[in-house]
Structure 1
Amino acid sequence: MTFDLVIRNADVATASERWQGDIGITAGRIAALGIALPAGRQEIDAGGRLVTPGGVDAHCHLDQPTSDGSKMADDFLTGTRSAACGGTTTVIPFACQMKGQSLVDAVADYHHRAEGKAAVDYAFHLIVSDPTPAVLRDELPRLVAEGCTSVKLYMTYDDMKLDDRQILDLLAAARREGVFTMIHAENADCIAWLADALVGAGLTAPRYHAHARPMLVEREATHRAIALAELADVPVLIVHVSGREAVAQIREAQGLGLKIYAETCPQYLFLTEDDLGGEGFEGAKCICSPPPRDKANQQAIWNGLDNGTFQVLSSDHAPFSMGPDGKAVAGADAPFTQVPNGIPGLETRLPLVMTHGVLAGRIDIHTFVALTSTNPARLYGLFPRKGTIAVGADADLVVWDTDLDRTVRNADLHHAVDYTPYEGQAIRAWPRITLCRGRAVWREGQYLGEAGFGRFLPCDRPQPAAVRGRGHRGPLWTA
């Protein structure tokens, strides 16, 4: 047997195993694992370096339409270029339905935006903001059949939020169709009441974004989301959990055997609310929802990664530059309520967590792989094609350098955003080589990807029952 490519002398780590050996690749898939494999037409000597599955970033926003006149800096070309350079080989952004719009039309528009641009593979989540009977009865089943098997709903943002009855209608449809549901859990009315009071008092600087979204508004909405999911008897994932109060709600539900999963993001590990207080408009760089908390809450999130409360660690990449088509769409002196929410992070997600998680001893390598690759692939119907190193899986692989001494600099990144909120963060690890389906898309500091190489991935039914963090006890849902 002659392989297209053999990676030799690899220190291979998956979500459950670690071993030394070779990886044989044929036609973009892993064909053999072993020691002293036959020659390949091409070979890479990993030199004993760590090799993990390519990252699956299951929560990122690329070229997503907005309602406030802002424009995301990253489209599918620049966003997936950035992903490849940071070790992510699959992205799952959102086909977003605006109120009054057909969900089918929203997906068709998103396919058009992605066509011919992606450098790595991609799938779509659905954002449902208008769950009419026709959408839930006719359009959702059609889109599930086409490979869109996960939906996101919002409990906040005026142009996106659903009330409790709408949430229950959507959860019931998700149960019927075997769809996995993600929930942005913040109490919209509490936020609006606080924001109006702050703006009315002239407290409009970016730092007050955090004051308008204290932990209790996330705690209450998380509790309510869990109750609605329990009533509908469906699994849900609470996205971008920021601190201990929401964590406590999730831990309690998991301890009762409820079908509750959780995701967090690097901003809750590496940023604090103090980063919103930069001089002038600088704090807008870190406006995201929920906002970063404090150092104690950072530790609570690290603890949740280690103890199994969280099943997924995503970037929530939302790429708005600082100019008039981005964060300053309403002006650089606009109140925090008019600043687009979100921060970039596709490229830095894996290196930051490898550095400050695995190499710092906060989490082990298997937890890292599970959180950043295997679990999202399972939850969203892409496993075992993605998220693992196994015979038959796509040859999505990262060969790591783990002895670096550098810092994050936006000048070195490959997104189209004019800043990174992680500027100056220490980095000891970065992908040396990223392979997507056996093809090098990043190697030793050089981007080698090609627009259009990335493929749309129709997702199978989700596999949440296969994802068992140490925080889970009791029966879990099976699609």
Structure 2
Amino acid sequence: MGYDLIIRGGHVITASGQFHADIAVSQGRIAAIGQTLGDAIDVVDAGGLIITPGGVDPHCHIEQVSGMGLMNADTFETATRSAAMGGTTSVISFAAQAKGQRLSEAAADYAARAKRGAAIDHAFHLIIADATVPNLEADLRELIAAGHRSLKIFTTYNIGLGNAEILRVLHIAREAGALTCIHAENDAIIAAARDRLLSEGRTRPIDHAASRPRSAEIEAVARMCRLAEDARAPVMIFHVSTTEAAAEIRAARARGAPVWAETCPHYLFQTEDILDKPGIEGAKWMCSPPQRTTRDQDALWHALALGDLQLVSSDHAPYRFDETGKLSNGADAPFPAIANGMPGLELRQPLMFDAMVKKGRLGPEAFVALTATLPARLYGFARKGDIAPGMDADLVLWDPGREVTYGANDLHDNVGYNPCEGVTVRGWPVRTILRGRTIMQDGTYLGEPGTGAWIPRPAIGTRPADITGAHT
């Protein structure tokens, strides 16, 4: 039997184990795994390399207008190029509703953008920014039925929803079979902290950390868990940053609440001290919630080990450090006038590989689970996130001995700086394969804009199958 591709002699890591094997690919899918599989049109020698599933990054802002009215730096073309260079083959970004806009119009707009530019497979979270627009419920139900199976709501910014609106969305999502993702911070606590800091003349990027107190996250996370529990509607708590918020999620799950949660590399590897740079330089690392403390880092790793947090996403939110992005309100802008977010699509996989595979924190199988298998399962990417016959041949080949120190501007997005400048990682993606086709090889990008496919997703129940497990 002849295959399209055989990858020979690699060390395969999945969420359930490790083994040496050849992988055969036909028509974009894994056809066989084993030894002496026969002939193929193309053969890749993976001797000495590690093979993992392609990364699934379920939280990225691409070609999206921010709450401040800024278009972020990346198009679907540049963002998915960056993703491929870092070993990510599937992404979920956002279809962001503007105030007064029908949700169906927002979804169509972002679908058209992705169709033009995306070079990897993708889906969307539907952002509900205005629950008062006509036809919201009808649009939402129709879009969910069409395969958009995740939504996003906020409890802060100028698009935050009130409790009654949130409950309405949760009930619709539960009935229609969708997962509701939540940016959970208490807006009133943030506003009070911000006003106090500004009145004291504290306007620097480091003051951004104090302007979003941990209590704002803790309160909102606890409240969202209770609302989800009351509505019996599954929710995903985005970008958990604190010890106490992780504890609230653990308690909610112990009660049987349909709650899942993620964290991000910047909370696992950075602390708020990174914002304390000369002048406005710290703006490069401003994000919301802000980075916290080493104690919180340890607690988040522990929560990942216990299965209280199930995913690690990048929360890629790219803004250039110039007048088009971070400095749009001037080089001396106070922290509330600086765009929040930083690039992460290309960084997530190498950072986590270094920590988990090379340094052994939670282990190689957990690396695959947290960055590929579990996000694919939870968000309904049926053929992604695993290495098994019948799955899409989305694969990453890693050189486990290669050591790379990040430079000032060596990413392949459109941001212009690397927030991990000076960080050294061990283990490096040397080939990225999407549905059997190499889209990155040895640092050369081979993808093509518009070749990424939209992934329709099936309905989820009110209690999705337990996919979490503990990574001890």
The alignment status of 1:42 with 2:45, answered yes or no, reads no
Which residue does 2:52 correspond to in 1? 52
Shift, 1:470, TM fit: 3.5
Which residue does 1:434 correspond to in 2? 432
Which residue does 2:373 correspond to in 1? 374
Which residue does 1:268 correspond to in 2? 267
Q: Structure 2: how far apart are the matches of 1:283 and 1:467?
A: 40
Query: Contact between 1:12 and 1:20, CA under 8 Å: does it hold in 2?
Result: yes
Shift, 1:146, TM fit: 2.1
Q: Structure 2: how far apart are the matches of 1:248 and 1:188?
A: 21
For residues 431-463 of structure 1, the C-alpha deviation after alignment (integer angstroms, 9 at most, x for no partner) is 111000111111111111111111111122247
SS at match of 2:98: coil
Q: Structure 1: how far apart are the matches of 2:129 and 2:314?
A: 22
Shift, 1:129, TM fit: 1.3
Shift, 1:338, TM fit: 1.1
Q: What amino acid sits opposite 1:411 in the alignment?
A: N
Query: Contact between 2:221 and 2:245, CA under 8 Å: does it hold in 1?
Result: yes
Q: Structure 1: how far apart are the matches of 2:36 and 2:235?
A: 44
Query: Cα–Cα, structure 1 residues 441 and 128, in superposed 2: closer, same or farther, change >3 Å?
Result: same
The alignment status of 1:244 with 2:243, answered yes or no, reads yes
The alignment status of 1:253 with 2:243, answered yes or no, reads no
Which residue does 1:403 correspond to in 2? 401
SS at match of 2:409: helix
Q: Structure 1: how far apart are the matches of 2:466 and 2:348?
A: 21
Which residue does 1:91 correspond to in 2? 91
Q: Structure 2: how far apart are the matches of 1:471 and 1:245?
A: 19
Q: What amino acid sits opposite 1:389 in the alignment?
A: I
SS at match of 1:317: coil
For residues 13-55 of structure 1, the C-alpha deviation after alignment (integer angstroms, 9 at most, x for no partner) is 1111322111110111111111110111100011042111100
Which residue does 1:459 correspond to in 2? 457
Q: How do 1:195-234 and structure 2 match up within 5 A?
A: 195-234=194-233
The alignment status of 1:387 with 2:385, answered yes or no, reads yes
Q: Structure 2: how far apart are the matches of 1:308 and 1:469?
A: 6
Shift, 1:222, TM fit: 0.5
SS at match of 2:116: coil
Q: Structure 1: how far apart are the matches of 2:356 and 2:286?
A: 24
Shift, 1:406, TM fit: 2.1
Query: Contact between 1:306 and 1:362, CA under 8 Å: does it hold in 2?
Result: no
Q: Structure 2: how far apart are the matches of 1:272 and 1:439?
A: 38
Query: Contact between 2:374 and 2:467, CA under 8 Å: does it hold in 1?
Result: no
SS at match of 1:297: helix
Contiguous gaps of at least 5 residues in structure 1: 473-479
Q: What amino acid sits opposite 2:106 in the alignment?
A: A
Q: Which TM-score applies when normalising by structure 2?
A: 0.97
Of 447, 450, 459, the residue aligned with 2:448 is: 450
Which residue does 1:128 correspond to in 2? 128
Which residue does 2:362 correspond to in 1? 363
Which residue does 2:175 correspond to in 1? 176
Q: Structure 1: how far apart are the matches of 2:31 and 2:268?
A: 37
SS at match of 2:401: coil
Q: Structure 2: how far apart are the matches of 1:429 and 1:52?
A: 12
Q: Structure 2: how far apart are the matches of 1:304 and 1:67?
A: 31
Query: Cα–Cα, structure 1 residues 296 and 67, in superposed 2: closer, same or farther, change >3 Å?
Result: closer
Q: Structure 1: how far apart are the matches of 2:331 and 2:164?
A: 38
Which residue does 1:162 correspond to in 2? 161
Which residue does 1:305 correspond to in 2? 304
Which residue does 2:286 correspond to in 1? 287
Query: Contact between 1:264 and 1:312, CA under 8 Å: does it hold in 2?
Result: yes
Query: Contact between 1:186 and 1:220, CA under 8 Å: does it hold in 2?
Result: yes
Q: Structure 1: how far apart are the matches of 2:455 and 2:161?
A: 28
Query: Contact between 1:148 and 1:459, CA under 8 Å: does it hold in 2?
Result: yes
Q: What amino acid sits opposite 2:210 in the alignment?
A: H
Which residue does 2:334 correspond to in 1? 335
SS at match of 1:12: strand
For residues 237-260 of structure 1, the C-alpha deviation after alignment (integer angstroms, 9 at most, x for no partner) is 111001201111111112222211
Contiguous gaps of at least 5 residues in structure 2: none
More off after superposition, 311-320 vs 368-377: 368-377
SS at match of 1:33: strand
Q: Structure 1: how far apart are the matches of 2:356 and 2:31?
A: 31
More off after superposition, 111-120 vs 387-396: 111-120
Query: Contact between 1:155 and 1:221, CA under 8 Å: does it hold in 2?
Result: yes
Which residue does 1:11 correspond to in 2? 11
Q: Structure 2: how far apart are the matches of 1:304 and 1:343?
A: 24
Which residue does 1:77 correspond to in 2? 77
Q: How many residues align?
A: 470
SS at match of 2:194: helix
Shift, 1:465, TM fit: 2.4
Query: Cα–Cα, structure 1 residues 471 and 427, in superposed 2: closer, same or farther, change >3 Å?
Result: closer
Q: What amino acid sits opposite 1:310 in the alignment?
A: L
Q: Which TM-score applies when normalising by structure 1?
A: 0.95
Q: Structure 1: how far apart are the matches of 2:39 and 2:48?
A: 18
Q: Structure 2: how far apart are the matches of 1:466 and 1:176?
A: 17
Query: Contact between 1:286 and 1:421, CA under 8 Å: does it hold in 2?
Result: yes
More off after superposition, 301-310 vs 96-105: 301-310
Query: Contact between 1:92 and 1:124, CA under 8 Å: does it hold in 2?
Result: yes
Shift, 1:467, TM fit: 4.0
4+ runs deviating over 3 angstroms: 132-136
For residues 314-341 of structure 1, the C-alpha deviation after alignment (integer angstroms, 9 at most, x for no partner) is 0000000111110111112111111111
Shift, 1:311, TM fit: 0.8
Query: Contact between 2:284 and 2:419, CA under 8 Å: does it hold in 1?
Result: yes
Query: Contact between 1:136 and 1:173, CA under 8 Å: does it hold in 2?
Result: no
The alignment status of 1:419 with 2:417, answered yes or no, reads yes
Shift, 1:112, TM fit: 2.1
Q: What amino acid sits opposite 1:441 in the alignment?
A: I
SS at match of 2:302: helix
Q: Structure 1: how far apart are the matches of 2:399 and 2:135?
A: 47
Query: Contact between 2:356 and 2:366, CA under 8 Å: does it hold in 1?
Result: no
Q: What amino acid sits opposite 2:101 in the alignment?
A: Q
